[in-house]
Amino acid sequence: MRNLISQRAQPILAMIAILAATPSAPTHAQDVKALCERVANDDRVRPIPITLVPAARQAFSLPGSASEIEVQKSTSFRCKDKKVWLCNTGANLVCGKANVSRASAGAANFCKQNPNADIVPMAATGHDTIYEWKCSGNKAIISKEIVTLDPAGFIAENWKPAE
């Protein structure tokens, strides 16, 4: 019986050991800064610790009426060039990597219902697209590229360095 319990406990104990060895998310601004200095570039988009809220307020000119929790929940960080970079998702801004696909199912569906539309709204294409779309007949076509990407594939204007 003891051997059976021991065998069942082994996977659980192994998982506990793995979780204990996994570094947790940084909880202080200095931890985040040290992480970025150490790793240089890390494209993982993570929530900011509460200690980076003042930097987020400054970078994005966020109003004082927004609570610390609201700012924290809407702001992410990643490491770029050994520095902390911030993104705030307000006003439909995307913090993840941009969509560079030259095909859009949302635009295609929109154009089937709205032939020859001069513009396909981002509600149809998604806010992560790098293109402005229009309809030529009932087909979606790219009219122009509308954002600049950073070398890692993020929309450059959505990210600001933490000061």
Report in angstroms the alpha-carbon separations of 36 from 17, 46, 146.
26, 12, 29
Mean pLDDT of the chain: 86
Show the domain range for 77. Answer: 25-95
Report if residue 7 sits inside a domain: no
pLDDT digits (tens, 9 = 90+) for 137-155: 999 999 999 999 999 999 9
Assigned domain for 70 exists: yes
Do 59 and 111 share a domain, yes or no? no
For the segment 68-126, what is each residue's pLDDT rounded down to a tens digit?
999 999 999 999 999 999 999 977 899 999 999 999 999 999 999 999 999 999 999 99
Contact (CB, 8 A) for 56 and 75: yes
pLDDT value for 122? 95
- Alpha-carbon gap, residue 99 to 130, rounded angstroms: 6
Q: Please give the model's pTM, rounded to 2 decimal places.
A: 0.77
Compute the Cα dihedral for 57, 59, 63, 67 and give only its sign: negative
Q: Which amino acid is at 63?
A: P
Residue 72 to residue 111: CA distance in whole angstroms:
38
3-state secondary structure of 41: coil
